[in-house]
């Protein structure tokens, strides 16, 4: 249970069941290339990319992991991680492609070397990535912060959509 009342995993399962019953079996793929950066299409399996990669998701979003900081600084001297942990922060940009959609920082987790998943926390660098409704061709960028245990190694930033496969960016 999260502070919002529903555990994100429960919502993912429920929404996944609804989408499976009425979704298409044809995955969306496609690439776009700009002079500055290549866009990598998401596949039907969880794929691993690196910091700096932009990925087309099946939710009509392009997501870029611009940077990963560990440890990351809080926004003030009072903004500190819980005892036994440090802030890890992902600089994420999300852009709607052809239709209105949304991005939610709670769709991101950090996968540790022992396969534990750490959920999005509060605090850390600013500006934060907040839940944002995006119109076609609109983008938003901000930090997604995690309370990373002092003992353990983060290996991936994972974006888990409401349905379909997730996307992983290597943090090493």
Per residue of the chain (172 residues), what is the pLDDT tens digit? 444 454 444 444 443 433 334 443 333 333 333 333 444 454 444 567 999 999 998 888 999 999 999 999 999 889 999 999 999 999 999 999 999 999 999 999 999 999 999 999 999 999 999 999 999 999 999 999 999 999 999 999 999 988 778 899 999 8
Tell whether 81 is covered by a domain: yes
CB atoms within 10 A of CB 117: 13
Q: What is the CATH number of the domain that holds 54?
A: 2.60.40.1240
The count of domains in the chain is 1
136 three-class SS = coil
Q: Give the domain extent around 113.
A: 37-170
Q: Which residue, 140, 88, 119, is CA-closest to 12? A: 119
pTM greater than the 0.75 cutoff: no
Tell whether 133 is covered by a domain: yes
Tell whether 22 is covered by a domain: no
């Amino acid at each position: 249970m999260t502070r919002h009342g529903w555990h994100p995993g429960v919502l993912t399962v429920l929404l996944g069941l609804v989408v499976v019953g009425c979704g298409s079996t044809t995955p969306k793929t496609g690439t776009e290339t700009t002079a500055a950066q290549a866009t990598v299409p998401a596949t039907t399996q969880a794929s691993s990319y690196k910091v700096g990669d932009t990925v087309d998701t099946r939710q009509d979003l392009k997501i870029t992991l611009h940077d990963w900081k560990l440890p990351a600084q809080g926004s003030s001297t009072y903004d500190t991680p819980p005892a036994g942990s440090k802030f890890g922060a992902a600089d994420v940009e999300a852009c709607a492609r052809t239709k209105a959609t949304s991005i939610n920082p709670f769709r991101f987790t950090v996968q540790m070397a022992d396969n534990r998943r750490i959920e999005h926390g509060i605090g850390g660098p600013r500006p934060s990535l907040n839940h944002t409704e995006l119109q076609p061709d609109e983008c938003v960028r901000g930090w997604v912060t995690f309370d990373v245990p002092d003992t353990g190694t983060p290996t991936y930033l994972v974006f888990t959509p409401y349905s379909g496969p997730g996307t992983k960016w290597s943090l090493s």
